Amino acid sequence: MSFAAELESRLTRYCAIDSQSDAGSATSPSTEVQFGMLRLLVAELREIGAEDVTLTDYGAVLATIPATAQGPTIAFLAHVDTAPQYKATGVKPRVHRGYNGGAITYPLNPDLVLSPETSPELAKKIGHTIVTASGDTLLGADDKAGVAIIMAAARQLLANPVPHGKIRIAFTPDEEIGRGVNPQLPRDLAADFAYTFDGGKVGEIEFESFSADGATVTITGVSAHPGYATGKMVNATTLAAKLLMALPQSRTPENTQDREGFIHVTDMAGGSSEVTIRLILRDFEREGLAAKGALLQDACARLQAEEPRAKISCEIKPQYRNMRYWLEKDMTPVTRALDAARALGLTPSTTPIRGGTDGSRLTEMGLPCPNLFTGMAEIHGPLEWVSIQDMEVATNLMLKIVSP
């Protein structure tokens, strides 16, 4: 069954909507613009005949596809927000039909090139319909590809009922800033297990993610007029530079791979009087994550001892933990997804995610939730792309998973 036209229409329409999240905001959702996607999905779910369609007070869209047979209640999730790391306003999706295997260029950035040399997975997509942005924004396939996949499968299930248990749908805000799962969400979903459509390569069924903490370092210096600062000024920016250079450069995202964790500075703001540094700490194991937190705290303590006139604080907060710790105790949803993939003729893999999803938090909170592929690649930057044909495989995977 072909879903290509519907998936292309949904993806390009959804990606054109600004729905970027903001870690600096305390609201839920963190940005008002996310309501554009959320309210659209409420309307579309009602239009296709979904039941119990709700926009919760914590900013998630929930809906039900009623059971047509006995079976477990299964939930499917995707997030509506796009990553704050790169511009996501004014996205202009471009559709490249019958991809020929060569380089893809961008009208809004002539220096930008997407090719199999820089994105090896692209070499496997000759003949596919490839969707990219236009060069000055990310695309937003992370995770609007997931949203489109779930919506296409939901429409099919409602229009052409086949035997399946109760299906719950959730579209969440703020996944990209680690706040997509409100404590009420597992109870509101009331599912036996769940899946997020937030993965990459076709065939990847992921049940292992990073464990994650977020850190905020605040450095308060001593202000003085620069012309009369001798022996008086303590420059917070200078201390910030010293702190960053004291962290191991071999443990940054660009220098790690596979099962190696990292310490990543996401942003830094301020001036000579005060600087705030935000970091994320990642490791697959709890012990490794704790060691990275201790390393950061030790670097702050040594800098404080070196310059006692400054005030240096380091606050570390947990974000999510490796979903493997819980899923390995009951692999039922993982096995079901692997069997469904094989039934579609795929050779599934269980590569660990060098990141996390809403599924990491849901699993930790008691709702088992592995992650499924969407086909998206080169996410969080202007080279982001996705194959419509890969999205179609993911849509059929959802339909196969819900089959008894």
Specify the pLDDT at position 382: 96
Specify the pLDDT at position 356: 85
Instruction: Tell me the HSE value of 228 on the side-chain side, using a 13 A CA sphere.
Output: 2
What token pair was written down for 381? 């930057």
pTM: 0.92
Instruction: Name residue, tokens 């996949």.
Output: 149
- Pairing state between β 94-96 and 130-132: antiparallel
79 is in an annotated binding site: yes
Specify the pLDDT at position 1: 67
176 is in an annotated binding site: yes
What token pair was written down for 374? 């969407």
Count other Cβ atoms within 10 Å, centred on residue 96. Answer: 16
N-term to C-term CA, the chain: 19
pLDDT tens profile 84-117: 989 999 999 999 999 999 999 999 999 999 999 9
What the chain holds in terms of domains, given with CATH numbers, is 4-209+322-402 (3.40.630.10), 212-319 (3.30.70.360)
CB 7 within 8 A of CB 151: no
Nearest-angstrom CA–CA distance, 340 and 393 = 11
Nearest-angstrom CA–CA distance, 36 and 18 = 8
Please return the burial class of 258, using the count of CB atoms within 10 Å of its CB with bins 0-12, 13-18 and 19+: exposed
Please return the burial class of 315, using the count of CB atoms within 10 Å of its CB with bins 0-12, 13-18 and 19+: exposed
142 is in an annotated binding site: yes
Helices (H), 192-349: 236-246, 286-306, 324-327, 332-343
Could you tell me which of 201, 258, 136 has the C-alpha nearest to residue 377? 201
Nearest-angstrom CA–CA distance, 63 and 70 = 19
Nearest-angstrom CA–CA distance, 98 and 130 = 8
CB 136 within 8 A of CB 85: no
Q: Name the active-site residue from 81, 143, 206, 392.
A: 81
Question: Among this protein's residues, is 175 annotated catalytic?
Answer: yes
Question: Among this protein's residues, is 52 annotated catalytic?
Answer: no
18 is in an annotated binding site: no
198 is in an annotated binding site: yes
Q: What is the mean pLDDT of each run of 10 residues along the chain (404 residues)?
A: 94 98 92 97 98 97 97 98 94 97 94 94 97 97 98 98 97 93 97 97 96 96 95 97 96 95 96 97 96 97 97 95 96 98 97 90 96 97 97 98 93
Specify the pLDDT at position 301: 98
Q: Name the active-site residue from 22, 44, 175, 208.
A: 175
Instruction: Name residue, tokens 């299964």.
Output: 74
Specify the pLDDT at position 178: 86
